[in-house]
Amino acid sequence: MEIRQPSWPVQALRYGVLIVLAVIFLVPIVFIAFTALKSRSDLLTSPFYALPEKFQWGNFAKAWNQGKMGMYMKNTALISVIKVPLGILVEALAAFALTRLNFKWSNAMFAFFLIGMMIPMQATLVPLNIFLNKTHLVSTYPGIILIYIGFGIPFGILILRGFFRTIPKEIDEAALIDGCGDIGKFFRVILPLSMPAIATLVILDFMATWNEFLLAQIFITKDSMRTITTGLLSFRGEHSTDYTLMNAGVLLSIIPILVVYLLFQKYFVSGLTGSVKG
């Protein structure tokens, strides 16, 4: 069956919309870059959209050294490297059980998981604070990682369950004939076929973990353990804020996110479409 290509006005409209959206998303980054490359006097005397009179490339080195960006990035990277794969493994196991293991209350349990997406994060702060204090997990890596995994589970199960359901059931029967049990089927069949969805979830989960602010601000009180988002507050003084160094720090902080996206972008589009090659 021949696929009909859209007419040139439709294509022009699509590209026009994409260009407008790209400009909308890029404009704030450009303004942040302008601010990061200005001197403090230039920032006070020129509009925020104006080019710097002289590009202050040294602001990035000052932000890295004075703002202890290296330490904050190391903390955030450690949390992300542990939380993202561990959380996705838990979510994948739960999604596998909900889609491939036939038990009576699977739909009810899935609905129970989805309730977690409806609970506002702010409503959980008091009970979480009591829990972490009683278990002595405040300002510890296990404490913040455990909280992040808990908040990420509903969304991860939603994504992976939808993808797992597109994998034909005949593959399960073939794996069973080859001698695979449920664990073997999960690791040797379902996970390899689900790499597009998992890669998509890696990108989204890494971005959410790297950029999370509220929980890290409340439950990490030691400066030596602060994450990159809370560490950027070090540029804010009692009476003033060094916006040039803060914006330079913001640009430095998004580099790991760009790297992760570039590494997994090939799978990102196919993961969103939920396609499986049979």
Q: Tens digit of pLDDT per residue, the chain (278 long)? A: 445 666 777 788 888 898 999 899 888 888 889 889 998 888 888 887 788 888 889 999 998 988 889 999 999 999 999 999 999 999 999 999 999 887 888 889 999 998 988 888 889 999 999 999 999 999 999 999 999 999 999 999 999 998 898 888 888 888 888 888 888 889 988 998 888 889 889 989 999 999 999 999 999 989 899 999 999 888 887 667 788 989 999 999 998 988 888 887 776 665 555 433 43
Instruction: Check whether residue 80 and residue 25 sit in a common domain.
Output: no
Q: Which residues neighbour 185 within 8 Å (Cβ) at sequence distance 6 or greater?
A: 100, 172, 175, 176
Instruction: Check whether residue 253 and residue 168 sit in a common domain.
Output: yes
The residue segments making up the domain with residue 147 are 67-273
DSSP, collapsed to helix, strand or coil, labels residue 241 as strand
Q: Which residues of 60-94 are buried (b: 16+ CB within 10 A; e: fewer)?
A: beebbeebbbeebbebbeebbebbbeebbebbbeb
Residue 277 confidence (pLDDT):
43
Answer yes or no: is 2 within a domain: no
191 CB-contact burial (10 Å; exposed 0-12 / middle 13-18 / buried 19+): middle
101, 110 in Cβ contact below 8 A?
no
Distance CA 48, CA 218 (A): 32
**DSSP strands (E only) in the chain:** none
Instruction: Check whether residue 116 and residue 174 sit in a common domain.
Output: yes
Q: What DSSP state is assigned to residue 190?
A: I
DSSP, collapsed to helix, strand or coil, labels residue 236 as strand
* pTM for the predicted model, two decimal places: 0.85
**CATH number assigned to the domain comprising residue 231:** 1.10.3720.10
Distance CA 249, CA 228 (A): 9
Domain count of the fold of the chain: 2
Count CB neighbours of 180 within 10 A: 16
Distance CA 177, CA 180 (A): 7
Domain termination site, one of 33, 56, 79: 56
Report the first-to-last Cα separation within the chain, whole angstroms.
19
Answer yes or no: is 1 within a domain: no
Count CB neighbours of 116 within 10 A: 16
Instruction: Check whether residue 239 and residue 178 sit in a common domain.
Output: yes
- Reference 264, options 161, 163, 195; nearest CA is 195
Residue 275 confidence (pLDDT):
39
